[in-house]
Amino acid sequence: MKKVRFAPSPTGSLHVGNALSAVANRAFGDWLLLRIDDTDPARNVPGGEEELLRDLEWLGVEWDEGPVRQSERRQRHVEAAEGLGERFDGITLLREDRTPTYHLASVVDDVDFGITHIVRGNDHRPNEALHRRLFEALGATPPEFIHHGLILGEDGKKLSKRAEGATVASLREAGIPAEAVRRYLDELGLPKHDVHYDLPRIRRLAIEAIGAMPDEELAARADAPVELVPALRGARDLNEARDYASAILEPAAMHVDAPETLARFRELLAHNGDARELVRELKAVGGDLRSLRLALTGRDRGPELWAVIAALPADELLRRIDAAER
């Protein structure tokens, strides 16, 4: 059995590079430990653990044990250090206040939980030799180390957490469906080399994810009635889907000066129940579709016009046309 662990520090929302490690560990391992590496109080952020747990759950990453907090295992770490000394190979294992450093706590926990494979980013590769020696000094067989490439920004350096879309929370707030982010990370897998962050790819996957959602699911996530779903299908993200729903359900008052188009729309509405065909006929006679959209939604852009018409009952469509002509 391949026993792996994902061990983030509680510093807030997951960086997409850390999310890549989480997804890679889950895909690679038969058993996954979620460990919170909180031995350095200076790096811990209030609420940081809750944020990263939310991110993992949102991405659909499930763990078999945890979260285990290293801070709660301090006594075990100190006991392990007693057999090694406060320094090992020139590296400090215990700080002056007797708290364990990352190297000690990480290896002791990997030993105690029987971790067989350590899957992490290339930035941890320099720690491998020291950790191997620590495993052996503790009388344990070192696990297999697997290092994957990092996610880089446009400048070719490790992606900054301040960059657009660099954290899971920022992607969620931008309305990107979790399915799109997870699929992108699954596609990367365990990259042997560093990869440039492809936010446009995530955005394309977002459109596909919205298109593939069952009607009820899309309606729920856009906070909209299921009747509006056809109008939401063309949205590029869930925020835009919510905007589309708002445009249909809560139109802005707008005066429109297009009497011929609105009159023709009334005539077609009375005789044509197919919204697509209605729009085609109106367009064929030179109808002002922009003005019709303004009359119905108060906005000059949004969901497909036919979908707006299909989403609303005829009496509501007529009420909005009347209001726009006043």
Task: Give the CA angle between residues 267, 229, 226 to the nearest 5°.
Answer: 100
* Domain regions of the chain by residue span: 3-151, 221-326
- Tokens representing residue 234 in the block: 């063309």
Find where tokens 């297999």 sit.
Answer: 144
Q: For residue 80, which of 102, 104, 96, 101 has the smallest C-alpha distance?
A: 104
CA–CA dist 6, 60 (Å, integer): 14
- Under a CB-based contact definition with an 8 Å cutoff, are residues 193 and 151 in contact? no
Concatenate the DSSP letters of all residues of 215-241 into one string. Answer: HHHHHHHTT--GGGHHHHTT-SSHHHH
- Could you give the CA distance from residue 66 to residue 84 in angstroms, rounded to a whole number? 27
Q: Rounded distance, CA 111 to CA 2, Å?
A: 14
Which of the 8 DSSP states describes residue 73?
G
Distance from C-alpha of 211 to C-alpha of 235, rounded to nearest angstrom: 9
Q: Is the peptide bond before 67 cis (omega within 30 degrees of 0)?
A: yes
Say how far apart CA 242 and CA 17 lie, in whole Å: 29
Cα–Cα distance between 16 and 169 in angstroms, integer? Answer: 10
Q: Which residues 6+ apart lie within 8 Å of 212 measured at CB?
A: 179
Whole-angstrom Cα distance, residue 228 to residue 307? 8
Name the one residue in this structure whose structure tokens are 């897998």. 189
- Looking only at Cα atoms, what is the longest distance across the chain? 90
CATH topology (fold) of 3-151: Rossmann fold (3.40.50)
φ, ψ of residue 35 in degrees (nearest 5): -120, 135
Cβ proximity of 320 and 296 under 8 Å: yes
Give tens-digit pLDDT for 233-287. Answer: 989 999 999 999 999 999 988 899 999 999 999 999 998 779 999 999 999 999 9
Q: What is the pLDDT of residue 73?
A: 97
| Residue 222 contacts residue 252 (beta carbons within 8 Å) | no
pLDDT at 326: 83
Closest CA to 59 of 159, 195, 213, 172: 172
Judge contact between 253 and 326, C-beta under 8 A.
Answer: no
pLDDT of the chain, 326 residues: tens digit per residue: 999 999 999 999 999 999 999 999 999 999 999 999 999 888 899 999 999 999 999 999 999 999 999 999 999 999 999 989 889 998 999 999 999 999 999 999 999 999 999 999 999 999 999 999 999 999 999 999 999 999 999 999 999 999 999 999 999 999 999 999 999 999 999 999 999 999 999 999 999 999 999 999 999 999 999 999 999 998 999 999 999 999 999 998 889 999 999 999 999 999 877 999 999 999 999 999 999 999 999 998 899 999 999 999 999 999 999 999 88
The pLDDT of residue 22 is 98
| DSSP class of 96 | T
Q: Within 10 A of 155 (CB to CB), how many other CB atoms are there?
A: 10
